[in-house]
Each structure stands twice: as structure tokens, then as C-alpha cells.
Amino acid sequence: MKGSLVQRGHTWYAVVDLPKGPDGKRRQKWHRLAASGKRQAQAELAKLIADLATGLYVEPSKLSVADFLLKWLEHARNAVSANTFERYRGIVVGHLIPNVGAYPLARLQPLHIQDYYARALQGGRLDGRAGGLSPQTVLHHHRVLKEALGQAVRWQVIARNPADAVDPPKVARKEMHTLTPEQINRLLQVAQGSRLYIPILLAVATGMRKGEILALRWGDVDLHAGTISVCRALEQVKGRIAFKEPKSARSRRVITLPAFAVDALRRHKAEQAEHRLRLGPAYDNQGLVCATETGKPLAHNLGRDYLALLRRADVPRVRFHDLRHSHATLLLSQNVHPKIVSERLGHSAVSVTLDIYSHVTPALQQEAADKLDALLGGASAGMVR
């Protein structure tokens, strides 16, 4: 591989010889270098030639970051759920393109991205209010940009992902809020007879996500075996309800039900069947376990009713998703193996479970030490040195 340097005024260019084309003709490509002197220019030229030799070289392109991100969005549209796509589009169109979109994709540097994060933290709000975006929001931007640029590398549009060399904002872990067994029992008692009783019961008995619960069909429930198969999830996009694939491959799972949940589902199924017969053709039977009075899917927006139940039960104001956390915390505190808890939750790996529920680990560690002390402590105390 060969290359040469050309200086024009104060600007240095590297002229790189590319492999000959199909017609056998010589091919060259000019690169404008960032170097301010000959020694730096020689170093950049050596790197370009090394990239050619190792297959990391990508021909420079006039494609801008904005143009690429819009192309990537079209790719992402078919790769993620509709809800996720809308979040991606909001971040790309509202934040990334206005701030880093003007750069040529091939010349986007980690410093450009790092500068944008710093500006966003100081004053990146789009609602006109003073102040910047939260570290968590900027971290979301980083993940989207990193994923998009990773696709550019796979498409061989750029050689390296500049976002790999950027430090995203550090986000303090929020304190997890869970309910005790007594509080869960009070909540279930108050919720009986309401449309939220079965969703709440399934959340605390299985650890399923809200979208998974609202998408559950009777065909997914085996009351004889006492199991539930998680096959889909419900989402709302711009006010429209749609069903989608589970969050990940591990999210597609089979969960064993406790006896109290099996009994509750049997009663609910019988009551729902009686209601369906009374309503007749007006009931839109979609086979959903959690449905409206007319059989249609329950919307995600159940917050007002849920908060009212929390107040009536006199329990802490926790999110519906925290019922899933309560399920996992209770199991871990009862010495259920973390691998089993991970499988029930549909986590990608047991390490994810242990990381999320690290607040339970100290108690488990102390219990393990106490058990060892009971087994070995007496013998150790009687040893003669």
C-alpha cells in the first residue's frame, strides 16, 4: 500500500493508492488531514495505509451524519417495535441531527459527540424551559447514537465507531421501591372486583411486565398445569394499541403460577365467560385475560385507577412496574435461586437480575455466612493451635 503527502497552503492532504478497480485502472483518494505540521501529517498517512493493509480503511464519503441517521431510522423501523421506533425518531430528529448532523459522517470525532453531551446537560431542553437534559436522557441519546454508528461500521460506511470512545453521563441508580407481603395482600383485597385486580395479581405472582400482562390470552394459560406462556406484549403508539413480540428472546418464557393465582384465574375465567354470554354479540371476544367490559384490550393508561387503589389500600405510592420488582425481591429474600428468578422475569442473564436487585444481596450474604458459621463455627472454635 502506498501514499503520499501534499501541502496546499496550511492544509495537508494524504493521497492514498487504492486497490485497482475492475477495469485495472489506478485509483487514488485524497484525504484532508487535521495535521498542522509535516510530522503529524506523516503519522496520519501511516495510519491510513495501515488501515488499508488491515481492512479497516473506508473510503471517505460526503454522507453527513444527518443523512445517515435518517437512513438508519428507516432500517430501524423494521427492526424494533413501533414504540421504540418513535423514541428513536424523537431523539434523532429532535436532538442528534440538530447538534451533530452537519458533520460529514466520515469526519465525526469523539470530541464532537462529547461536546454535544456537555451542551445537552447544560441547556438541551426542547420545551423552552431553563436548564439541561437529565443524565439519564443524555444516556439514552448516547445509546441510540452508538447503536446507529455501530450499524454504519457494519455497513462499512465508517471504519470505527466514534461513540465507543465517548464517556456518557453517569446516572445515579434510583432507589427501588417495593411492597411487603402485608402491603401486597391489602392491595389485592382492595382491588378485588375492579378491572385491575387480575393485572395486579399477575404482576406480583409472576413478575410479568405490564405490556405482557395486558397481551395475555387464555390460550397462553394452562390452568391444569398451572403455567403461563409469555408470547407477546401490548404497546400504545400515538394512542393506538398494538401487539408486538416480547422484549427479547429470553422474554418469551413459561412461568409457573402459585396456587392462589391459579384459583383466582379460574374464578376470573368463569366470571368473564358469564359476562360474555350476557353481552352477546356486543362482546368483542379477543381471548384476552385482561379485557374491557366489551372484550377489547385494556389500555396502558390505567394510572388514575391504579393510584386510587394504592390510596385506598394505604400502601406506598409505587409504580405498576414496581410490583414486578416486589415479586423478584420477595423471591430472592426467600432464598429462591437467582437463576430461577431471572428466568421468571425474562432477563437476558442472571447477572442482570443480581445487578438490579443488589439491594437484596447483603442479606443473602449474611445468611450464607450465618449458615457456614452454624456448620463450621463450633469445630473451628475447638481447634487447638
State the architecture of 182-314 in CATH terms.
Answer: Orthogonal Bundle (1.10)
**384 pLDDT higher than 60:** no
C-alpha cell at 371: 449458615
Per-residue confidence (pLDDT) for residue 324, from 0 to 100? 95
Q: What is the mean pLDDT of the chain?
A: 88
Spelled out in words, what is the top-level CATH class assigned to the domain 65-165?
Answer: mainly alpha
Is the CB of residue 63 less than 8 Å from the CB of residue 104? yes
If one compares 371 and 357, the residue with the highest pLDDT of the two is 357
- pTM check: above 0.95: no
Contacts of 249 (CB under 8 A, 6+ apart): none
Q: What is the pLDDT of residues 75-113, one digit of tens each?
A: 999 888 888 899 999 999 999 999 999 999 988 999 999
Which amino acid belongs to residue 161? N
Q: What is the pLDDT of residues 229-238, one digit of tens each?
A: 999 999 887 7
Per-residue confidence (pLDDT) for residue 155, from 0 to 100? 86
Q: What is the pLDDT of residues 346-357, one digit of tens each?
A: 998 888 888 888
What Rg, from alpha-carbon coordinates, does the chain have?
29
Mean pLDDT value of segment 147-167: 91
Per-residue confidence (pLDDT) for residue 321, from 0 to 100? 94
Contacts of 157 (CB under 8 A, 6+ apart): 58, 61, 63, 68, 105, 106
Q: Where are the domains of the chain?
A: 3-54, 65-165, 182-314
When pLDDT is cut at 50, 70 and 90, the band that residue 179 belongs to is very high
Comparing 65-165 with 182-314, is the CATH topology the same?
Answer: no
* β partners of residue 13: 6, 32
Q: What is the pLDDT of residues 294-323, one digit of tens each?
A: 999 988 668 889 999 999 999 999 999 999
Per-residue confidence (pLDDT) for residue 347, from 0 to 100? 92
Distance CA 76, CA 155 (A): 14
C-alpha cell at 175: 432507589
Percent of the chain exceeding pLDDT 90 equals 57
Report the DSSP pairing between strands 253-256 and 227-230: antiparallel
Mean pLDDT value of segment 339-368: 84
